[in-house]
Structure formats: structure tokens, C-alpha cells
Structure 1
Amino acid sequence: MPLFEYKVLPAPTRGRKAPGVKTPEARFALGVEDLLNDMARAGWEYLRTDILPSEERQGLTSTHTVYRSVAVFRREVVIPGTAQTAAPDTASIPPRAPDVIETD
């Protein structure tokens, strides 16, 4: 069974200007695209984007909850000296007995 390591980064909150990219939506999409492509070049696979609560201090004594968007990436960990397989090894798993429902 493959092992993975994960990296969680803040999702972009602003777009990026570029020639020919005029609308705010297109600039935002370009910012997200840049993040995904940069991570892919570094060997990370994009999994999903989540919105998670973060409790932060407000003033000296109180806290409030802020919701943050994060992008989750993963890549397979290669352990030296082990055989990496694409599918899990099922030979060592004993066959399961069929479920039997008894009736009166």
C-alpha cells in the first residue's frame, strides 16, 4: 500500500495580473492555476481545497473564529529498499466468509 505525505498551503486570495487577463475572475483563476502548476512541478498532486475554522486572538483577552481556505496536496513517499506497487497486496488477506442470515 503506498504511503503519502501531505502539504497544506493557504489558498490564493488575490488574483494575478498578466497580459490578456482582464477580469477579476480570470485573474483569480490564474493565481490558483499558478499555485497548482508550481506544486505539480515540485512533484505534488492536488487533492482538494477545504475551508477550515481557525481560532485567533482578538485584542488582549478574546478570540474569534476565522475561516481559512487551504489547498491540500500529496505525493507518494518512496521508502528505500521496499518494493512499491500500484495496487495493495491482497495475497496476505484471507478470504472473507459470506454473510449468512438465518431465518426462523
Structure 2
Amino acid sequence: MPQFEYKVLPAPTKGKRNRGSKGGAGRLAFAVQEMINDLALSGWEYQRSDTLPLQERSGLTGRVTVYHNMLVFRRPVDDAPHEQSLAVPRKSEPDDNIFEADTHDSETP
């Protein structure tokens, strides 16, 4: 089963001017279209738009709920499990000089 990573970004709130877009809704649609196409070039696939509530402060003690539109994107991730590679200690090679020193001491005439 393929696995995905997700990216959630706030939807544009201002439109972008374009030759073919008319009115505020057309400019906003063009801004969303550009955002989706830019992310698609990086491998992100548009999934859906969600409206999520957020509690924000209003004055010193008050709170108000504000709703934000979010765009959800996904892209496939490698199927290989991500395991941390542990450093394996390398076996050190014996030092030849140590053995030569021992043999010279034992070779006395």
C-alpha cells in the first residue's frame, strides 16, 4: 500500500490579476489555480479544501472563533521503511609494528 506525506497550506485570500479572469471570484480562482499548479510541479497532488476553526483572542479576555480555508496536498513517499542507520564499529587491523617489536626482542643470539 503506498504511503503519502501531506502538506496543508492556507488558501489564498487575495486574487491575482489575469487577462482572462473577470471579477473577484475569477481573480481568486486564478490565484488558487496558480498555487495548485506550482505545487504540482514539485510532485504534490491536490486533495481537497477544508474549512477549519481557530480560537483567537479578542481584546483582553475574550475569544472569538475564526474559520480558515486550507488546501490539502499529498505526494507519495518511498515504500522502503525509514530506519535509523546505526554506526557499526569497524574492526581495526592489527598493527604490524607491534608484532615486529615482539619478534626482535625474542631473536637475541
User: What's the TM-score, normalizing by structure 2?
Assistant: 0.68
**1:76 aligns to what?**
76
Distance 1:81 1:47 in 2: 24
Post-superposition CA distance 1:28-54 (Å, at most 9, x none): 110110011011011100000011111
Separation in structure 2 between the aligned mates of residue 20 and residue 32 of structure 1, nearest angstrom: 15
Counterparts of 2:52 and 2:80, CA distance in 1:
35
- The residue type equivalent to 1:53 in the other structure is P
Bigger relative contact order (CA 8 A; separation at least 6): 1
TM-score of the aligned structures, taking structure 1 as reference length: 0.71
2: distance between equivalents of 1:24 and 1:81? 46
In structure 1, what is the Cα distance between the partners aligned to 2:46 and 2:57?
A: 31
Report the counterpart of residue 46 of structure 1 in structure 2.
Answer: 46
Alignment partner, residue 37 of structure 1: 37
Pairs aligned (count): 82
Structure 1 portions without partners, runs of 5+:
83-104
Greater gyration radius? 2
Q: Please tell me the residue identity of whatever aligns with 1:58.
A: S
Label 1:60 to 1:27 Cα distance change in 2 as closer, same or farther (>3 A): same
Q: Deviations over 1:58-103 (max 9, x none)?
A: 1122211001000000111114479xxxxxxxxxxxxxxxxxxxxx
Identity across the alignment (%) = 51
- Shift in CA distance, 68/81, structure 1 to aligned 2, threshold 3 Å: closer
Higher helix share: 2
RMSD: 1.8
The question of whether the paired residues in 1 share the 8 Å contact of 2:2 and 2:79 is answered with: no
